[in-house]
Chain A
């Protein structure tokens, strides 16, 4: 476990079709949750300095819908939408996510907010799903997954220099 003050998000691939994003924030979890679920606040950070958010809709209740649209600096519009499946205020949000460029592929995101000493760790687990992906997931079990390949590639990338 890395002690992050701020800066880099950690992205790992804990199992096939899963992506885990982790980051610690210097704020209590109520505030991180608020920044994560309030449209005016989401508009300020979600674009990641790559463009401008034109839509940030959040209907924060189970079965409620969300939609984010960003116009990238080059003019390209990218949209994402989904539905809330589980909401535990200040603790956990489970929602679906569809990238509008690939509308057949639905991912399930689980965001978890954990506070210790006034600092909050945010974990977002992205579970990709499709029949093929799911079958592969079952076939390989919940073992080491793509992380292995990634570790291997780190090695390979070094050897390519």
Chain B
């Protein structure tokens, strides 16, 4: 089943493994960009590029403090992904509850057929 269009951006933003590393790092709290560069072992322009993508979907927020740029995770922007998976789980759970009922019918019919033989 296709994803809701409104969550596609957040999905794309977290589909890239480096960006997930950044999100993981930020899950522990606010971090200056230099910290992220060191931890990821990437060149600063690459880290900045990933941070820009994450900022565009609102997954991270940034603020300047003195000469430092500090990044922090914004869970609210990523919540649609979480919600989408949960909604998908509900859809299939409801579907399979119905399938349980169909299977009960089939089992009864099979037993009836066997006793006819």
Contacts and interface: CB of A to CB of B under 8 A. Distances in A.
A7 B110 contact: no
B76 interface: yes
B96 A156 contact: no
A157 B89 contact: no
B97 A44 contact: no
**How many of chain A's residues touch chain B, expressed as a range?**
35 or more
Interface residues of B, number: 38
Interface stretch (A16-24, A58-66, A87-95): A16-24
Majority secondary structure of chain B interface residues (helix, strand, loop or mixed): helix
Nearest to A100: B2
A21 B82 contact: no
Given A46-B95, A48-B94, A26 B100 contact: yes
B102 A149 contact: no
A14 to B, nearest CB: 13
Contact of B94 (A13, A50, A148): A50
Interface of B: 1-2, 11-12, 14-17, 20, 23-24, 27, 73, 75-76, 78-79, 81-82, 85, 88-89, 91-103, 106-107, 110
Interface of A: 6-11, 13, 16-17, 19, 21, 23, 25-27, 31-32, 34-36, 41, 44-50, 80, 99, 101-102, 105, 122, 136, 139-140, 143, 146, 148-150, 152-157, 159-160
6 contacts: A31-B106, A35-B99, A140-B17, A143-B17, A153-B78, A159-B75
